[in-house]
Amino acid sequence: MNNTLKRKLLAGQPALGVSVMLPSPHVVDMAGRLGFDWVLLDCEHGSITPEGLETMVMAAEASGITPIARPPTNTPDAVLRVMDRGVLGVQVPHVNTADDAKRAVESVKYYPLGSRGLGAGIRSAGYGFGVTMEEYVKRANQETLVCVQLEEVEALRNLDQILRVEGVDVFFLGPSDLAQSMGYPGRADAPEVQAALNSAFATIVAAGKVPGSAGNANAVSNYARQGVKYLYTHLTTILASAASDFRLKAGLEKH
C-alpha cells in the first residue's frame, strides 16, 4: 500500500488525474500508461459496481496509478464498500458542514482515527496474506486519502469550520454543482461562480491546506495558477477534445 498521490500532495506538488465513470479496467490501465498520477473511479454518477470497482483497482495497481473512489453518498456503509475494494482514498460528495467532514474521515480511518469496520480477508488488506491486521490498520491509516467535496453555497459559508477538521487531505471545489447551487446550472463560467471559486481557493491555500478541482484543460491550468494541487479532468472531456483535434488536423472537420 503506497499512495503516491498523497506523497505528491504532501510535498506540495500538483497531481493530475482522470475521472472514469464506466466499469472498464482497460481504461484505467491506459490512463496509468499515459502518465496520469491518479484515477477517480466515480461510483456516484457512473455505472461501476463493487465487482467492477475491484477489477479497476487491480488495473490501477498494475499500471502504477493511484485509485481514488467517489462513493455515492457520505455514509459509513457507502465509504466502506469502496474502501474495502482496495482504493487508496475517497472523494466524498456533498460535504456542507464540519460534521459532514468528520463523518467522512471517521468512515475512512480505523481506530483510533476513525470507526471504519475492520474485516478479515478483505482485498484492501491483501486478503490477510503476509501482513498482520495490526500492521494493516497502521498502514491504512497512514496511506489513505480523504477528499471532501464542497459543492454547495452552504459549504462555502462553513468553509472556515470545515478547514479545521483533522484528517482531511484535500478540499475539493465542485464547479458544476456549485454553479447550480448558486442559481447558474450549467454555467460554471458565470462571473459570480468564478468569483466564489477563486475566493474559496485563496482561503484554502491561506490555511495551508490542499485545494482541488476539475475541468477542461483551460480550467485546470487556471486552477493550478491559483495553487490548486489535486486536479483532474473527465474521460469524456479528453475524448471530445482529442476527437475534435484529430479531425481538425486530418482536415476532416465534421459539418
First to last CA, the chain: 49
Distance, CA of 159 to CA of 186 (rounded, Å)? 23
Distance, CA of 77 to CA of 48 (rounded, Å)? 16
Give the number of C-alpha atoms closer than 13 A to the C-alpha of residue 109, restricted to the C-beta side.
21
Peptide bond into 76 cis (omega under 30): no
CB neighbours (10 Å) of residue 177?
Answer: 18
List 26, 45, 234, 255, catalytic entry: 45
SS3 content of the chain, % helix, strand, coil (to 5): 50, 15, 35
DSSP state of 123: G
What's at 183, amino acid-wise?
G
List Cβ neighbours of 83 (8 Å cut-off, separation of 6 or more).
69, 90, 107, 108, 116, 124, 144
**94 part of the active site:** no
- Give me the active site residues, please: 45
